[in-house]
Chain A
Amino acid sequence: MAEEIKQPRIGVFVCHCGTNIAGTIDVEAVKDYAATLPNVAVADHYQYMCSTPGQQMIQDAIKEHDLTGVVVAACTPRLHEPTFRTATKEGGLNPFRFEMANIRDQNSWVHMHDAEGATEKAKDAVRIAVAKASLLEDLYPKSVPVEHAAMVVGAGVGGIQAALDLANAGIKTYLIEKSPTVGGRMSQLDKTFPTLDCSQCILTPKMVDVGRHPNIELHTYTEVEAVDGYIGNFEITLRKKARGVMSQDEATAKGIVGGGCNGCGDCEAVCPVIKPNPFELGMAPRKAIYIYHPQVVPLVYTVDFDSCVKCGLCVEACGDKKAIDLEMEDTFETVKVGSVILATGYEIFPVEKKREWGYKQFDNVITSLEFERLICASGPTGGHLVRPSDGETPMKVAFLLCAGSRDNTGVGKPYCSRFCCMYSLKHAHQVMEKIPGCQPYIFYMDIRSFGKMYEEFYYRIQNEGAKFIRGRVANILEDPKTKNLHVYAEDTLLGRPVDIEVDMAVLAAAIQPAADTDHVRHLFGVSCSQDGWLLEAHPKLNPCGTTTAGIFLAGVCQGPKDIPDTVAQAEGAASAASIPIHMGKVDLEPYFAQCIEEKCAGCGMCVNQCPYSALDLIEKDGRTVMHVTEAKCKGCGTCGGFCPGGAIYMQHFTTPQIVAQIDAFLLGGEE
């Protein structure tokens, strides 16, 4: 702040962006106008300011005209601010003496049919930017050390893959899963398309790996309670839900030699309480002390305290292992990590809301996920596909695609759920393979078989005898005597309405973000898109990042995707999340609030306003004044706008700078 007062000398550079800008805006006129503005030492224009010659123009002009500030009128700061800051720095100026005027996204693109108006608006934008650039100051980014650890929230296949990659890269990784076992949705599937390999067979090695990797600290039956801190230094509080059962490690730590759960299942055998197993979607029973399935990781039983009657039979059966504690309570633990990957997954859209298809009204209408459990050898029927109404083997099965997807009625989901076409083809294959003579009918609008070997898989299933009917199902009715179903649709290629009597109908239900997604995203300060999926930083160029530094996304929580895409994104997210950790430090943009101590009355009202807990009151020279922890400050300006004494100074967004911008706009450039 105590800089030598020097008359500002600003360079203005107007970018054509090919025809993106110059096709609408008269860049020559904007350049000529800029040259007339106060403090402007040089004005120029160029076809692509972001190109090497464009950047060189900036560097040369800084030296030639002894500039104090640079304005580029081009695209958005999000796209090219880093580029031009670097050019400004290479020209010998502090990089924060650069200001950008957005004359493309907010101007030429939206006013494509009003060249004159757009040119005038561009002049306004340049004038405003010059006013600010005249008052810019040297600023220095602050670097903070990064904790050499990461967290992955959600242990489905995406979370598992991300955790393994991080751990294999030498990073201590906390893998957090709210249910009692890792595995997620993939462990509920029978086979995977298009290779038809057994889902569990390819997943369990990875499940086992995360369970025993020296760099992975696995926390199942655990939820994130609170998140504090910022990139490099997140402090995350975990709620370890009362499981009622100690692992062998936990027992050893408590001094119970040779104790803890070994997964023998003696407790389950004696438990008198029977409840539906959510892993089997309620189609199989479980006890109040349970594991989801034989391959769970970790192999530790869990007590469902909502249904446990605390009879104590399990404690007796467990005997000397002393693994069961029916009085166990939730415990909390805080861990410190440098970056976080969210992999919170999805759930099935409640397709009963589309009443015309009769789910939950007719016994033999099931969802595709229920079909997976019914066709799976480890499922409730041992892999024998049966009708829920009578246990008979179905010989005609209808598959309804887009059951709630591509639906703009407000009841379903407007997006494509992306993997239903492929798994429905797989289901058609499975019924034909397991039940000789069984005829699948696939009702579809479009078959989206876009992945590697997917179209070939479609060819194969058609060749195997599946019947494809190009029409969305209008409704399903049940024959009350036989419980058979009549599926009504139009065969749009034939141009005739169809009524097919089937034994069973499988709805390829839409998917939606997992129930807790909204809660989790608020904890981590991540945005979501209109349909609830977590929002990536850029849909093409930064699909794993978020707008919150240090938080990354993997898998379906970011939008529907199949297993290959989920694993690929998880590996991308792990790579991105490991960058700050391997660098060891991160630079924070110096948009910190600063306390002008002479003006500060020490009232402390700002401290409560700060959404990032970045402010404190301290004693200094016998007075109480506010103090900013710069690493926590995001430069949001809440405190600066609020301070009754005007004692808070927002770096890079100072009151004089903003007032100068407003004046420049309102006064039309007049002094």
Chain B
Amino acid sequence: MAKGYNDPAMEEKFQDRYFHATTETNPEFIKEIERLGRTHAHMCFQCGTCTGSCPSAPRSSYRIRKFMRRAVLGLEKEALTDPDLWLCTTCYSCADRCPRDIAPTDVIMAMRNLAFKEDIVPRNFLKTIQLIYKTGHGVPNNDANRAARLKLGLEAEPETTHKYPEFIPGIQKILDHYDMKETADRILSEGEQ
């Protein structure tokens, strides 16, 4: 609701802040997350052990506890459109230590899946899909790395699709099954995500 400030920054600052618990939330969101993530996310009691354990938290704005809260409350849009969703390294430290035996990492993975269905994916992740499709690697080998490997007495190419490119079509078949390459190409060609 516009309040008549002739300044977008002021409009933003003084917008309505109430959490409208009955209208703003999607009660199906937590069920969908639990179905995809196979973890009882609704039992989170917000102790913060996850964020305290998170290697990403001290060096970014990523707060996994906040995503757990959004899951419990059904704040679907807020969770799926927050770019921080993609800052989890999936190290599973939070899952190791959660006193409620929840796997917060799997909640994040479920949210990423739901976001992908709505075309909400950072460009670098989409580029990674393209690279995997093309080479079988998210981070393919390069000349500097090849030189380093040779210096260490290793073969230039590792024992992967780099050495056995005949297996790349298999990887492509898997990605095609989920239309990942197609989706990535489409979104990237549309410009901004």
Query: What residues of chain A have their CB less than 8 Å away from a CB belonging to chain B?
Result: 356, 402, 406-410, 412, 445, 470-475, 488-492, 495, 497-499
A490–B99 contact, CB under 8 A? no
Kindly list chain A residues whose C-beta atoms are within 8 Å of the C-beta of B54.
497
Q: CB of B52 within 8 A of chain A?
A: yes
In the complex the two chains form, is B48's CB within 8 Å of A472's CB? yes
Contact across chains for B57 and A490 when beta carbons are under 8 A apart: yes
User: In the docked arrangement, what's the CA distance between A470 and B48, Å?
Assistant: 8
Q: Does B49 count as interface, using CB distance less than 8 angstroms?
A: yes
Knowing that A470-B48, A475-B52, A490-B57 touch, tell me 14 more A-B residue pairs with CB under 8 angstroms. Answer: A356-B97, A402-B47, A408-B43, A412-B99, A472-B52, A473-B49, A474-B49, A474-B51, A474-B93, A475-B53, A488-B53, A490-B48, A495-B63, A497-B57
User: In the complex, are the beta carbons of A407 and B99 less than 8 A apart?
Assistant: yes
A residues less than 8 Å from B65 (CB atoms): 490, 492
B101 interface residue, CB < 8 Å from A? Answer: yes
Residues of chain B within 8 A of A407, CB atoms compared: 99
Known A474-B53, A495-B66; contact A402-B48, beta-carbon cutoff 8 A:
no
| Chain A residues positioned under 8 Å from B14 (CB to CB) | none
A488-B47 contact in complex given A406-B99, A408-B99, A409-B98, C-beta closer than 8 Å: no
Q: Are A492 and B48 in contact (CB under 8 A)?
A: yes
B residues touching A (Cβ–Cβ < 8 Å)? 43, 45-54, 57-58, 63, 65-66, 93, 97-101
Expressed in whole angstroms, the Cα–Cα distance for A499 and B53 within the complex equals 11
* Best-buried of B52, B53, B100 by chain A (most CB within 10 Å): B52
Instruction: Please tell me if the beta carbons of A474 and B52 are within 8 angstroms of each other in the complex.
Output: yes
Q: Please indicate the chain A residues that have their CB under 8 angstroms from the CB of B45 in the complex.
A: 445
Q: Given A495-B66, A499-B58: A408 and B51 within 8 A (CB)? A: no
Q: How far is the CA of A488 from the CA of B58 in the complex (A)?
A: 10
A472 to B98, CA, bound (A): 10
- Once bound together, how far apart are the Cα atoms of A408 and B48, in whole Å? 15
Q: Is the CB of A489 within 8 A of B99?
A: no
CB of A485, distance to nearest CB on chain B (Å): 14
Asked if A402 contacts B99 (CB within 8 A), the reply is yes
Which A residues are CB-close (under 8 A) to B46?
A: 492
A408 to B54, CA, bound (A): 20
How far apart are the CA atoms of A356 and B94 in the complex, in Å?
A: 12
Residues of B within 8 A of A472 (CB): 47-49, 52, 99
Q: A488 contacts B101, CB within 8 Å?
A: no
CA A489 to CA B66, docked complex, whole Å: 15
Are A410 and B48 in contact, CB atoms less than 8 angstroms apart? Answer: no
Q: How far is the CA of A497 from the CA of B63 in the complex (A)?
A: 9
User: Which of A409, A492, A498 has its CB near the most chain B CB atoms (within 10 A)?
Assistant: A492
Q: Given A445-B45, A490-B57, are A497 and B52 also a contact pair (CB < 8 Å)?
A: yes
Complex formed: what's the CA distance from A492 to B58 in Å?
13
> CA of A495 to CA of B41 in the docked complex: distance in angstroms?
19
Flag if B97 contacts A475 (CB, 8 Å): yes
**Known contacts A472-B47, A497-B57; is A490 also within 8 Å of B52 by CB?**
yes
> Distance in Å from the Cβ of A113 to the closest Cβ of chain B?
20
Question: What are 30 A-B residue pairs whose CB atoms fall within 8 Å in the complex?
Answer: A356-B97, A402-B47, A407-B99, A408-B43, A408-B100, A408-B101, A409-B99, A409-B101, A412-B99, A471-B49, A471-B51, A472-B52, A473-B52, A474-B49, A474-B51, A474-B52, A488-B52, A488-B53, A489-B48, A489-B49, A490-B49, A490-B50, A490-B52, A490-B57, A490-B63, A491-B48, A492-B65, A495-B66, A497-B58, A498-B52
Closest to A408 in B: B101
Q: Which residues of B contact A406 (CB under 8 A)?
A: 99
Bound state CA distance, A408 and B40, in angstroms?
Answer: 12
Contact B47 A492 (CB under 8 A): yes
Contact B100 A471 (CB under 8 A): no
Give Cα A618 to B30, complex, Å: 70
Nearest CB in chain B: distance from A22 CB, A: 32
Contacts of B51 in A (CB 8 A): 471, 474, 490, 492, 497
Please, which residues of chain A bring their CB within 8 A of the CB of B98?
Answer: 409
- Among B46, B49, B100, max chain A CB count under 10 A is at B49
Q: A409-B98, A490-B65 are in contact. Are A471 and B58 (CB under 8 A)?
A: no
In the bound complex, how far is the Cα of B43 from the Cα of A304, in angstroms? Answer: 49
Q: Which B residues touch A471, using CB under 8 A?
A: 47-49, 51-52
Report the Cα distance A410→B99, complex, angstroms.
9
Chain A residue, CB-CB nearest to B43: A408
B93 neighbours in A (Cβ, 8 Å)? 474
Q: CA A409 – CA B54 in complex, angstroms?
A: 18
A490 CB contacts on chain B under 8 angstroms: 48-52, 57, 63, 65
Q: Which among B43, B48, B100 has the greatest number of chain A C-beta atoms within 10 A?
A: B48
